[in-house]
Amino acid sequence: MKVSNKRLISTALSLSIIFAGTQGIAHAQSSFVSGSSSVETNINQDAKSLRYTELYKKVFLALGHELNLLAQAKADDLLQRALRGELVFENGSYVEQNSPGIHYASVDQISSDDLDFELSILEIVYADLEIYPNEDLIQIGVASGKDRQYYYIVHVAL
Q: Is pLDDT of 152 > 70?
A: yes
Lowest model confidence (mean pLDDT) among 15-19, 65-69, 74-78: 15-19
Q: Is pLDDT of 27 > 60?
A: no
Q: Is 74 in contact with 81 (CB distance < 8 Å)?
A: no
pLDDT of residue 22: 34
Q: Is 112 in contact with 48 (CB distance < 8 Å)?
A: yes
Across 30-58, average pLDDT: 65
Q: Are strands 139-146 and 151-157 parallel, antiparallel or unpaired?
A: antiparallel
Across 109-134, average pLDDT: 87
pLDDT of residue 136: 78
* Cβ burial, residue 99 (10 Å; 0-12/13-18/19+): exposed
Average pLDDT, the chain: 76
Instruction: Give the integer Cα–Cα distance in Å for 70 and 150.
Output: 26
Across 4-23, average pLDDT: 40
Across 9-32, average pLDDT: 36
Q: What is the pLDDT of residues 77-95, one digit of tens each?
A: 999 999 999 999 999 999 9
pLDDT band at 128 (very low <50, low <70, confident <90, very high): confident
Instruction: Give the integer Cα–Cα distance in Å for 158 and 155.
Output: 10
Q: Is pLDDT of 34 > 80?
A: no
pLDDT of residue 113: 94
Q: Is pLDDT of 11 > 90?
A: no
Is the pTM value of this prediction over 0.85? Answer: no
* Cβ burial, residue 77 (10 Å; 0-12/13-18/19+): middle
